[in-house]
Amino acid sequence: MKNVAVIGAGTMGNGIAHTFAQNGFKVQLIDISEASLKRGMDTIAKNLDRMVAKEKITEAQKDETLGNITTFTSITEGVEYASLVVEAATENVDLKLNIFKQLDEACPDDTILATNTSSISITQIGAVTSRPDMVIGMHFMNPVPIMKLVEIIRGYNTSDDVTNTIMDLSKQLGKVPVEVNDYPGFVANRILMPMLNESIETLYNGVAGVKEIDTVMMLGMAHPMGPLQLADFIGLDVCLSILNVMYEGFKNPKYAPCPLLVNMVRAGKLGVKSGEGFYDYSDNRKAETVAKQFSK
């Protein structure tokens, strides 16, 4: 398995492409937007430059990594020779189901189809394909090149062979794979998102301010970043989408998103990506500080 296609050139997609390419895989990075592909490749190049500056890789390794990535705007062309496809599009059920229908038709019969979804049912995604036994969750953490964990989520029909293959492949990338079962939010977000939502509720109820809440969790619980700042870094729209999936999946009010979160997303205050969330990132240097703090 040396040819890997990645669907989506956003934050997660370019990080996944970077990680595979740096480990010697030929990567086809696919996005419908040329502008998104350019931004994704620029991000990969900047992250590699940082690694060169820190003497973690050489200039030659940087060039080799970039040379391993080819960009496409067509799924049909990009997945033609892929042994594995990792979908990293927006966390939207209908969008993902549509992508997997296209992948099922375009990919070779033996191609494994993985999704980087952080909450959506692998079983549901697999059901729209003719190969549900070859559909699996491969949930990387952000920032992908740095974070070690990969949640490996097997759907109801995912085969043992495919699961074992993806577990082994994750280890080849220098990651630590953890196998979990297919329930809304899996493990990482089933635990993380209610904590972030409760932090937002604490702010909404006037118990304390943004910095005070984050300071309590950083100094009192040894978290490297406060929950409200972490929500900004993840993207408040992403947090809302995941909470909605969990609320719909479990029908349990404890997963209902806080009204403050809903209103902030409606107002376009999405965190680092929009320049404002619980913190103000209108100065790009502030946004970069958040990213660096989380990636230490």
8 in a known ligand binding site: yes
Among the CATH numbers 3.40.30.10, 3.40.1160.10, 3.40.50.1820, 3.40.50.720, which is that of 3-181?
A: 3.40.50.720
185 in a known ligand binding site: no
Checking if the pLDDT of 162 tops 90, the result is: yes
**Residues of CATH 3.40.50.720 domain(s) within the chain?**
3-181
The model scores a pTM over 0.75: yes
Checking if the pLDDT of 289 tops 70, the result is: no
Question: Of these residues, 36, 47, 119, 189, which one is catalytic?
Answer: 189
Question: Of these residues, 47, 116, 118, 197, which one is catalytic?
Answer: 118
The CATH number of the domain covering residues in 189-288: 1.10.1040.10
**Residues of CATH 1.10.1040.10 domain(s) within the chain?**
189-288
15 in a known ligand binding site: no
Token reading at 81: 């020779």
294 falls in which pLDDT band (50, 70, 90)? very low
Query: Tell me: the pLDDT tens digits for 23-39?
Result: 999 999 999 999 999 99
118 in a known ligand binding site: yes
Query: Tell me: the pLDDT tens digits for 78-96?
Result: 999 999 999 999 889 999 9
Checking if the pLDDT of 66 tops 70, the result is: yes
Q: Is 18 noted as a catalytic residue in this protein?
A: no
User: In this structure, are residues 241 and 119 in contact, taking their beta carbons and an 8 Å threshold?
Assistant: yes
Question: Of these residues, 83, 116, 139, 197, which one is catalytic?
Answer: 139
Q: Is 151 noted as a catalytic residue in this protein?
A: yes
Q: Is 241 noted as a catalytic residue in this protein?
A: no
142 in a known ligand binding site: yes
Q: Is 179 noted as a catalytic residue in this protein?
A: no
Question: Of these residues, 151, 199, 241, 274, which one is catalytic?
Answer: 151
160 falls in which pLDDT band (50, 70, 90)? very high
pLDDT average, residue stretch 55-82: 96
40 in a known ligand binding site: no
**Among 7-21, 31-45, 128-142, 276-290, the least confident range:** 276-290
